[in-house]
Structure 1
Amino acid sequence: MKFLVLGDKTKLEIEVLQRNYPNSRDYWDANWIASRIHLEIPGYTAHFEADLRTNELKEFVDELRDMNEALKGTATLKNLDDYIHLTGTMNSLGKIIWNLETRFPAGDSAKLSCTFTSDQSYLRILIDEVDAVLEAYPVVGKVR
């Protein structure tokens, strides 16, 4: 399962491989997912594995949905371990300006940052792709 954020000469692909703790029912353990991040920008290609969380994807897709309905706003995918921080803001012309920062390995490590744009007409596809990932890997439990 994967989703793509596409823009001018930019491709960010996040592939979810599996749950890290598939037998857990605990919110803090069960929602970790092993993922593969692939980024292509002019002059650079990055490819690394990252542990993300399903609740991070859920918050991101909810914000994408709000942005798509209002045709304005911001959506952010922020990872607890700082592997990825992606923020998209829609301007008045329907363009989404994406600010992306990736780190590998997690923590104080190599950082790659870029900014790119995409058209709002692409949002529905992105929302559907993230929804499909969350259907396969739903958020488990609740914060206590």
Structure 2
Amino acid sequence: MHSFSLGGSSREKVIVTVHGYERPPIGDYHDDNWLAVVVQVNAGAFSGKFDAAFLTEDFVSFFAQLRDLYDSLKGEAIFSTLEEQLTIRVASDGRGGVSVAGEALDQPGIGNKLVFKLAMDQTNLLPALRELDEIVSRFPVRGA
């Protein structure tokens, strides 16, 4: 299993754990690139955990955006998924502070929604970048 997490403490954290590709490759771009994941959100007194499926390209795109944000400390990085089960917006204040805002749905389109906001320091971005680099290396986009 490979995970990435954002947050400053165990009570203020979102964790996405990738278990692997959902199925062996069959030559269909979208079917070949679904990853089985578990999402865990801890936001103060609230917490939730659910299974989902995200595309490999969701991780690739977020990794590139988060790397740019870390390098410049300007703008934002957005993790979004095709079925909208998880959206995470990471923004820098330009002075070392980073905000994380997101929404998690336990089922695509019809699920319960948890809206969360977390605060952290820019130093928390580097471990997340290392974790995302490992995920995109271990689970590359197939058929690209």
Q: Same fold (TM over 0.5)?
A: yes
CA contact (8 A) 2:13 2:118 kept: no
Q: Return the offset for 1:76.
A: 0.5
Which whole-Å CA distance do the structure 2 matches of 1:34 and 1:11 have between them? 20
Report whether the alignment pairs 1:3 with 2:4.
yes
Q: Who is 1:114 aligned against? A: 116
Counterpart check, 1:56 vs 2:55: no
Task: Tell me how far apart the structure 1 counterparts of residues 111 and 56 of structure 2 sit (CA, whole Å).
Answer: 24
| Contact 2:6–2:125, Cα closer than 8 Å, also in 1 | no
Is the 2:43–2:118 Cα contact (8 Å) retained in structure 1?
A: no
Partners of 1:128 and 1:138 lie apart in 2 by 15
Instruction: Give 2:137's match in structure 1, choosing from 116, 135, 138.
Output: 135
TM-score normalised according to structure 2 size: 0.92
Runs of 4+ displaced beyond 6 Å: none
**Aligned twin of 2:71:** 69
RMSD, aligned CA: 1.3
2:43 and 2:117 in contact (8 A); partners too? no
Residue 104 of structure 1 pairs with residue 106 of structure 2: yes
* CA shift for structure 1 position 140: 1.3
Mapped partners of 2:56, 2:4: distance in 1: 13
Secondary structure of the corresponding residue to residue 109 of structure 1 = coil
Tell me what 1:12 maps to: 14
| Structure 1 gap segments, 5+ residues each | none
> Are residues 1:23 and 2:47 paired?
no
Q: Do the aligned partners of 1:26 and 1:140 also contact (CA within 8 Å) in 2?
A: no
Identity %: 25
Q: Is contact 1:37–1:47 with CA below 8 Å preserved after alignment?
A: yes
